[in-house]
Amino acid sequence: MEKLLKLVGDSGLANLEFGQAAMIIVGLILLYLAIAKRFEPLLLVPIGFGAILVNIPGAGMGAPPIYDDMGELVSYGGLLYYIFKLGIETGIFPLLIFLGVGAMTDFGPMLANPKTLLLGAAAQFGIFGTVIGALLLNETGWVSYSLEQAAAIGIIGGADGPTSIYVSSQLAPELLGAIAVAAYAYMALVPILQPPIMRALTTKKERVIVMTQLRPVGKVEKIAFPLVLLILVAMFLPAAAPLLGMFCLGNLMRESGVVDRLSDTAQNALINIVTIFLGLGVGSKLDAESFLNMQTAGIMILGIVAFCAGTATGVLMAKLMNTVSTNKLNPLIGAAGVSAVPMAARAVNKVGLQANNQNFLLMHAMGPNVAGVIGSAVAAGVMLSFLS
């Protein structure tokens, strides 16, 4: 009987606290959104499952190793602790994700219309505007963010999950779980959040603008661009070299045509394996103590403001460029300046087709979309350069 009572007393149910139960429900909600609604399933499935694992009482999946008073190892710690420690806290997983993203990215649409670089740059306003907003929230008294935490939160405005995780792991690891969930949640909600903003800031006449066909981009251009981009940016902003370097390496492997096996591995096997571990590592930070607080609520609010601001400034920049250009841009493509690739470009194409069913904007929108990836990496480099 004593053994039975001990078994019951040691069970998860007997030790389950309210916060842990709440976070298990959050994990189940993330799984529902991923499976039933198909919101970023590749990330939300392992994140949601990791959130459930780390909140099971007594399982110790996210627990650190334990040492006695003599420094002798008593417990090795949980699997999720080591996944986070080795892959996310060091920044390795986000960098490997960038390698795979680079291998899947075609710079052709951006090179064919270099003006779209300005749209990607304009959309980064959401990042820096949110940093200011986070610091202003301190004045309300209900939440407090340091400058490093504000910078990490601001990266959500670029709608770039790996960059958000990388910057957060360097500047504010205590907020990593909330920032990662916010970043990927808003990336998944691109088809819902962006169209109303696009319609509100453009007229019917602007939405039906038909853009000229993009010029063909030669192989030499495609090979040279990632090298030139990396050297120029890294020389001026070395802090951006890790993210941009992995991105450019992946792209060079794709475009060079001489390492197809490596490119295929980066695009498929490698990025898939890293995505599993990245999601589990992020999920390990969704414990009740770290997540259920006012700081997390502030992050979710600031995140959506940042994302909407980035979308709006991209559209407004396109409208501004049209005032001084004879070759008119459809201002809808400015919304793709956030680096949610390719979700933002697809949302632009859908709104464009609703206005004119013969107006296909997908390839035109991919230019600012790719520029947004570069822009968010550069913005991350600026943050890290000033605050690391």
Element (H, E) at 210: none
CA 311, CA 291: separation in Å to the nearest integer? 27
Within-domain flag for 162: yes
- pLDDT, residue 187, reads 78
DSSP for 96-149, written as a single string: HHHHHHHHH---HHHHHSTTHHHHHHHTTHHHHHHHHHHHHHGGGSS----HHH
How many Å apart are CA 362 and CA 255, to the nearest integer? Answer: 21
Q: What is the pTM assigned to this prediction?
A: 0.88
* Positive/negative CA dihedral, 29, 80, 303, 99: negative
Phi and psi at residue 304, to the nearest 5° = -70, -35
Q: Which residues pair with 73 in a beta bridge?
A: 67
Q: Which residues pair with 67 in a beta bridge?
A: 73
pLDDT number for residue 241: 93
Q: What are φ and ψ of residue 67, in 5° steps? A: -120, 150
Q: How far apart, in whole angstroms, are the C-alpha atoms of residue 72 and residue 66?
A: 9
Indicate the pLDDT class of residue 1, thresholds 50, 70 and 90.
low
Confidence of residue 258 (pLDDT cuts 50, 70, 90): very high
Question: What is the SS3 assignment for 291?
Answer: helix
- pLDDT tens-digit profile of 246-255? 999 999 999 9
| Backbone torsions φ then ψ of 302, nearest 5 degrees | -65, -35
**Mean pLDDT calculated for residue range 230-250:** 93
Band (pLDDT 50/70/90 cuts) for residue 138 is confident
Does residue 322 lie within any of the structural domains?
yes
Q: Which of 22-36, 246-260, 294-308, 345-359 has the highest mean pLDDT?
A: 246-260
User: For residue 200, what are the contacts with CB-CB under 8 A and spacing of at least 6?
Assistant: none
Greatest CA span in the chain, whole angstroms? 86
Q: Is there a domain that residue 49 lies in?
A: no
pLDDT single digits (tens) 313-346? 999 999 999 998 888 899 999 999 887 788 889 9
pLDDT score at 83? 93
Say if CB 256 and CB 59 are below 8 A apart: no
**The pLDDT of residue 35 is above 70:** yes
Average pLDDT score, the chain: 88
pLDDT value at position 227? 96
Least confident of 4-8, 39-43, 208-212, 335-339: 4-8
37 domain residue, yes or no: no
Angle, vertex CA 8, rays to CA 7 and CA 12, nearest 5: 100
Alpha-carbon dihedral angle through residues 259, 261, 264, 268, given to the nearest 10 degrees: -140
For residue 5, being part of any structural domain is answered with no
Q: At what angle do helices 41-54 and 271-283 cross, to 10 degrees?
A: 40
Bond from prior residue into 342 cis (ω within 30 degrees of 0):
yes
Q: How far from the centroid of its chain's Cα atoms is residue 318's Cα?
A: 23
Q: What is the pLDDT of residue 111?
A: 93
| Beta pairing class for 73-75 and 66-67 | antiparallel
Q: Does residue 8 carry a pLDDT above 60? A: no
**pLDDT band (50, 70, 90) for residue 6:** low
Closest C-alpha to 31, from 50, 19, 49: 49
Percent of the chain with pLDDT over 90: 44
| For the chain, percent of residues with pLDDT exceeding 70 | 96
Whether residue 182 lies inside any domain: the answer is yes
Residue 284, amino acid = S
Q: What 3-state DSSP class applies to 361?
A: coil
Return d(Cα 86, Cα 278) in angstroms, integer.
11
pLDDT at residue 193, rounded to an integer: 87
Q: Which two tokens stand for residue 310?
A: 């980035």
Domain count, the chain: 1
Query: pLDDT class for 7, splitting at 50, 70, 90?
Result: low
94-133 pLDDT, tens digit each? 999 999 999 999 999 999 999 888 999 898 888 888 888 8
* Domain residue limits at 218: 113-257+289-387
Structural domain includes residue 107: no
Residue 9 scores a pLDDT above 70: no
Please state, as a whole number, how many other Cβ atoms lie within 10 Å of the Cβ of residue 202: 23
Mean pLDDT for 32-61 is: 88
Residue pair 329/318 in contact (Cβ under 8 Å)? The answer is: yes
DSSP per residue, 302-349? HHHHHHHHHHHHHHHHHHHHHTS-SS---GGGGGGGSS-TTHHHHHHH
Tell me, yes or no, whether 59 lies in a domain.
no
